[in-house]
Amino acid sequence: MLTETLFQHGTLAALVPGLFTGTITAGELLKHGDTGIGTLAGLDGELIIDAGTIYQVNHEGKVRVVAPDETIPFGNVHFANFGPAQTLKAASYADLQAAVRAHLRSLNLFAAIRLTGTFKHVTTRAVRKQTVPYPTLVATADDQSVFNAENVMGTLSGYFSPALYAGAAAPGFHLHFLSADHQFGGHVLAASGVTGALQLQTFTNFELHLPADDAAFRDQDFTSPQIVADIERAEH
């Protein structure tokens, strides 16, 4: 049952108006999975969770291990139980996404993605840590760093989320990258010349944990139809 469950703390919709306060510790999040992605309080960089270790890529492009007491406003984790590896080759990021989509069991189920191999080119980003009063999610695009790597070995990982759950998650792919030497990574914006081993894990359960003790979350109005559009703009 545990390997069939995707656990998520917080929602991407909550990040749109700037609810960046950490509402779960890294240590607590790891009780629900050993693999995943997320961000730290203040929207501080990008997280890649692998084999029970949380790595942060900050706005300077530096990679470090996150301590158990650091806090997180949004994160996805699961216990890894990936299926057999399948060879994937893709000339562009659009080709990569199309190839992964073709291997998904269903577009109406959450799935974890792990693609390990060589990448001719990868473009990633990470946001600088924001301070109170927090800006909106879209506004942070002006305070992000973009990184490029050529001929890099590493792992692209993250999730496919069905359109049905837009707002809770970003519809489609939400993918992060970490190089094999742990010197490069971030939220993936583009990739090309990819050859690697693709593994997927489909979930029958989606467990959403909300920050019920956070007054800002309880009082926020999320009825605006612009929320999903802002999520997709910020993600891509």
What does the pLDDT read at residue 120? 98
Cβ atoms within 10 Å, residue 67: 11
Among 77, 96, 53, residue whose Cα is nearest residue 182: 53
pLDDT in tens, 115-127: 999 999 999 999 9
Mean pLDDT value across residues 29-39: 98
Return the minimum-mean-pLDDT range out of 144-148, 154-158, 163-167. 163-167
The confidence band for 233, taking pLDDT boundaries of 50, 70 and 90, is: confident
pTM of the shown model: 0.96
Whether 150 has a pLDDT exceeding 70, the answer reads yes
Mean pLDDT for the chain overall: 96
Distance of CA 116 to the CA centre of its chain: 16
Whether 230 has a pLDDT exceeding 90, the answer reads no
Strand partners, 50: 53
Whether 225 has a pLDDT exceeding 90, the answer reads no
Distance CA 137, CA 232 (A): 11
Whether 27 has a pLDDT exceeding 70, the answer reads yes
Among 229, 217, 200, 24, residue whose Cα is nearest residue 134: 217
Structure tokens at 146: 């973009």
Among 1, 58, 4, 2, residue whose Cα is nearest residue 201: 4
More confident residue, 142 or 81: 81
Query: CB under 8 Å to 189, separation ≥6 — which residues?
Result: 123, 124, 125, 146, 236
CA triple 43-219-127, angle to 5 deg: 10
Mean pLDDT value across residues 144-158: 98
pLDDT in tens, 67-114: 999 999 999 999 999 999 999 999 999 999 999 999 999 999 999 999
pLDDT in tens, 166-197: 999 999 999 999 999 999 999 999 999 999 99
What does the pLDDT read at residue 8? 98
Amino acid present at 100 = V
Query: CB under 8 Å to 172, separation ≥6 — which residues?
Result: 97, 160, 161, 163
The 3-state DSSP class for residue 223 equals: coil
Whether 1 has a pLDDT exceeding 80, the answer reads no
What does the pLDDT read at residue 24? 98
